[in-house]
Amino acid sequence: MRPLDAAETPEGAAEEREPIPLTPPPQGPDPWGVKRAENLITSLTGVLSARVVVTPLGEVSEIHVLTTNDQQAKQVVRNIESALMAQLGMKIDHRKISVAQTADVRPIEAMQEEAVRTRSKQRVVVFQSLEVRPSERPQRVLVRVRLSFAGREAEAEEQGTDTVRNRVEAAARAAALCLDELLPDNSIALEGATIIEAFDRKFVFVAVHGLGGREAQLLTGTCEIRESKERSAVLAVLDATNRWTEARR
């Protein structure tokens, strides 16, 4: 009897049969050319964005595109198939291409900027400028604040002794005087302003009396000190009063 070869024995078969290794992806920032395909697709007319999904072996499994609604989805699919074949030699089954359409063709960045501008216009009072300079009287400073609201501006000046606490209070009082002028249906008066420390940072904390009609309320606001203490005092007053006046609109 002829002895069995190693390949014919169970043990030999176990030794000879090894799993076939998967082909590793090529090295580089874009191993399967996904970015090239996405850039090509987004260059087509009416395509706003594209995302190509591939398997671990580099086979395209899904293509998702967002387009304007001025082209039919079937035409978009045909354009994608033709472009991939002509430029990259890729033959894609049309069933792998998913098309979503939108009527808003603005980039997301433009939409975000518009939202910020809209929110800015809704602010009740806007800070315009602040000036702190020595007064003609010795050991005193003059603080001038200018605010605007609904196309109108108001400016107020306050004097105080040349100390940190008094400069902060003078800036807050000037801001309150501007608000009192800009908001005729509301009465604004400063209760006090001080500097506090919390979370290893310094803040200006203010208390303001707000009177609208028969309703009186003590309003508080804060602002972290980053540039100057006087500027933070003005912004703290706005932090307190903007929330109150917005709620009353």
pLDDT tens by residue, 98-141: 998 876 555 556 555 666 565 555 556 888 899 998 877 888 89
Query: Is there a contact between 58 and 37 (Cβ–Cβ < 8 Å)?
Result: no
The amino acid present at 68, given as its one-letter code, is T
pLDDT tens by residue, 142-172: 999 999 887 789 999 998 888 999 999 999 9
Question: Once rounded to an integer, what is the mean pLDDT over residues 13-27?
Answer: 50
Residue where a domain stops, chosen among 61, 76, 105: 105
132 closest CA partner among 105, 97, 162, 165: 162
Instruction: State the pLDDT at residue 175.
Output: 93
This prediction has a pTM of 0.50
Dist CA 133 CA 159 (whole Å) = 10
Longest alpha-carbon distance in the chain? 124
- Total domains in the chain come to 2
Structural domain containing residue 78:
27-105
Q: Domain with 133 in it: what CATH number?
A: 3.30.160.270
Q: What percent of the chain is predicted at pLDDT more than 70?
A: 74
Instruction: State the pLDDT at residue 35.
Output: 87
Instruction: State the pLDDT at residue 13.
Output: 47
> Are both 137 and 234 inside the same structural domain?
yes
168 closest CA partner among 183, 158, 179: 158
179 closest CA partner among 244, 94, 120, 247: 244
Query: Is there a contact between 161 and 170 (Cβ–Cβ < 8 Å)?
Result: no
Q: Is the pLDDT of residue 96 over 70?
A: yes
Dist CA 20 CA 105 (whole Å) = 48
Dist CA 244 CA 58 (whole Å) = 58
> Are both 56 and 171 inside the same structural domain?
no
